[in-house]
Structure formats: structure tokens, C-alpha cells
Chain A
Amino acid sequence: MNGNFIDEEEVLKTIDKLDVEITNEKLNLDNIITIIQDININYKTDNESKLSELLDTLNNKFKTITAIHDDNITVLKKNLDTYISTREKIANMFDDLA
């Protein structure tokens, strides 16, 4: 790759695809936690506290993963917005010159 560029159309397509994937994943991550909670209800032993501790850590990790993926979309959206806004400013400058 040489030079600086953003292909607006492709970046937008990716943002849309990521939105769908991340929405699915959010559901999936919540689902994993719910299933593990259901499993632990049916396993009440001295090891229960260790399992519960692992579940809490996992739940927090899932929250961070979801936030990271939201951050990635934010980065793409903001850079695209900046690029579009700069492109429009330059176009307006040429219009003003004309």
C-alpha cells in the first residue's frame, strides 16, 4: 500500500458487518454466562466457589471484549467521519475558488 487513503464504501460495509457480528456476539457472550450459571446451579459442591470465581472473571472479560469491539467500530466510524469531513472541506474550498 502506498500513500494515505480511505475507501469510504468498503469501510462503511465493514462497519455494518461488524455491527451485525458484534450484536450476535454480545448475545452469545451473555448466553455463555447464562448457561454456565445454569450448570453451576446443578453442581453444588465444595468446588462451587472456585467455579463461581471463574465465572465472575469470565463475565468481566466478556464485558471487556464487547467494549473492545465497540471501540474498534468507534475508531473506524470516527476516522471515516474525519476523512469525509476533510474531503468535503477541501471540495468546498475548490468551490469557493471557482
Chain B
Amino acid sequence: MIINIQSLEKNSSKLIKSIDDFSNNISNIYNELNWVSGYWNDYHARLFFTSVESERIKINKTYDELVLLKEVYKYIISQYKSIGNKLKVNLETKDDILNKFNLFNDKVNEIISLYNDLDLSFCSDVASKINSQKSKLLKIKENIISAKTKIKSTLEKIEEIEKNINFKLSKIDIEVIKRVDINEFM
């Protein structure tokens, strides 16, 4: 997966403005149609303006659908912003990545255990050097564990965000609308 948060944020602001413009435009169109209904009155007009009213209600729902979509993008931005500006990760390799940390950690444990098995009583002059190396190794082990925990937590967070986005998207149902036969109004 590749996510560019900065670009998402920039385009999301444009989307918010466009959705507002859409709402204003639709409102102007139907206010104008409603206004002219006072200047045309016959059988066809009555049929036409009744149809226009039900059409207005259906088209207005588009605004709600756009708002839901906008909310999903807002969620994507707010959640990923805390992780980074640009993300490139393959979630399918999550277990492999974590296993590599485990293997590395096991190897360090093996070396530490070799250090522990050493009898340093007869070589006190090098014992301090060896103990210092062992301490460095223990520090590396700590760093490995800490890095693994951070990476695991980030990958799990990404998985959770994607799951939530999927759920939010599944709730958006864009209603299909149909044109009516305009010949009955003429």
C-alpha cells in the first residue's frame, strides 16, 4: 500500500469546497424552478412541478452521500497523519518482518548464553572487556525488542485503520436515480 498524506490533505480541502458548491448549485436550481412554478400554470405544469419536487429530494441525497465520502477521507488523513507523511508498506509481509526480528533476537540470545557459559575466573584481565561486550549485546537486544514492538504496533494500527475504512466505505450506498419521460410534461 502507498499513501501520500500531504497530497490527500491538499485534495481533501478542494473536495470540501466542491461539495459545498454542489449543494449551493442544486439549491439555486430548485429554488429557481420552484419560483417559476408561479408563472406557468396548466395541466403539464402541475405534472412537471410535482415531478421536480420528488427529483429535488432524490438529488439532495447526493449531498449526504458526498459528505459521507468526505468523512472517510477525513478519517484517512487524521489517522495516517500521526504515522507519517508518506507510507509505503506491504501488510502481507508483516509476519515475515516480525519473524526476522525474532530470528535476530534468538541469535543474540544464543550469543549472550555463550557469554554466560564462559568461566572468566582464570582470566580476570579480559573479564571486564568480555562483560562490557556482553552489556553491549544486551543493549542491542533491548533495542531489537523495542524496534519490533514499535513496528508491530504501527503495522497493527495500519491494519485497524484499513479495517475501519473498509467498514465506513461499506456503509456508503450511492442511490441510483433515473430520468423520467419528459414527453408527459409537454
Residues of A within 8 A of B (CB): 1, 3-7, 10-11, 14, 17-18, 21-22, 24-25, 28-29, 31-32, 35-36, 38-39, 41-47, 50-51, 54, 57-58, 60-61, 64-65, 67-69, 71-72, 74-76, 78-79, 82
Residue of B nearest to A6 (CB): B40
Residue of A nearest to B72 (CB): A51
Number of A-B residue pairs, CB cutoff 8 Å, is 143
Q: How far is the CB of B60 from chain A (nearest CB, A)?
A: 11
Total number of B residues with any Cβ neighbor in A under 8 Å = 57
Whether B21 lies near A28 (C-beta < 8 A) is: yes
B122 is an interface residue with CB less than 8 A from chain A:
no
Whether B174 lies near A58 (C-beta < 8 A) is: yes
Q: How far is the CB of B45 from chain A (nearest CB, A)?
A: 7
Cα A5 to Cα B46 with chains together (Å)? 12
Whether A67 lies near B2 (C-beta < 8 A) is: no
Residues of B within 8 A of A (CB): 1-5, 7-8, 11-12, 14-15, 18-19, 21-22, 25-26, 28-29, 32-33, 35-36, 38-45, 48, 52, 55, 59, 62, 65-66, 69, 73, 76, 162, 165-166, 169-170, 172, 174-180, 182, 185-186
